[in-house]
Amino acid sequence: MEKKTKVDQLKDMLKAKKEAEEKAAAAEAAQKDPEQPSLNSEEMSAQIKAAEDEAKAHYDKLLRVMAEFENFKKRIERERIEHLKYSNQSLILDLLPVLDDFDRIISHIPKDADASVASIADGVKLTQNHFMTALAKHGLTPLEPSVGTAFDPQKHEAIAHIEDPKQPEGNVAVEHRRGWKLHDRIIRPSTVAVAKPAGDKK
């Protein structure tokens, strides 16, 4: 049997409520019609009350179905907005390695590079900025730099433990690859090395 939609349920409730109200009206009319078989007041009152109770029950069901339908509409709208918000996530994840390449290229450019290399470096940085600006329009932003902060498994992916006298145990000592979030969702944690106590063999 095909499952009824919320709209169909609303229609059924409205129909049942109308039928119950018609029964109540018919019972009252019969009481006033001299051609109808006479019923004593108790029987007539019982019939009217039964019809009214039935109408009230259908009305209560109608209210519940309407409330469920309203919640259903809100949920569908939330899901639609959520889908639109993160519909580009797969594409952006595929583009993150390109941003990683920009970071690697820039990090390997010597600070004392000659003018020609410095000019190329400026061009690479400009291209990187344009690329990041385009992605930012779709909700992509980098996570805050990790070095010096406490390791957070929600934001960081630890790939090593190293000794670092500058950092207390459990803090991020090195950030190997920056993390990113799409709107308010972290889509890639920062890849880091975490400080450990001196002499720890782990």
Each residue of 140-169: pLDDT tens digit?
999 999 899 999 999 999 999 999 988 999
Q: What is the pLDDT of residue 62?
A: 85
Better-predicted residue by pLDDT, 39 or 134: 134
φ/ψ of 179, rounded to 5, equals -95, 165
φ/ψ of 9, rounded to 5, equals -65, -40
109 has a pLDDT exceeding 70: yes
Judged on CB neighbours under 10 Å (0-12, 13-18, 19+), 107 is: exposed
> Are 141 and 181 within 8 A, CB to CB?
yes
Q: What is the pLDDT of residue 7?
A: 63
> Are 139 and 182 within 8 A, CB to CB?
yes
27 has a pLDDT exceeding 60: yes
Please state, in angstroms and rounded to a whole number, the distance separating the CA atoms of residues 22 and 146.
Answer: 71
pTM, rounded to two decimals? 0.63
195 has a pLDDT exceeding 90: yes
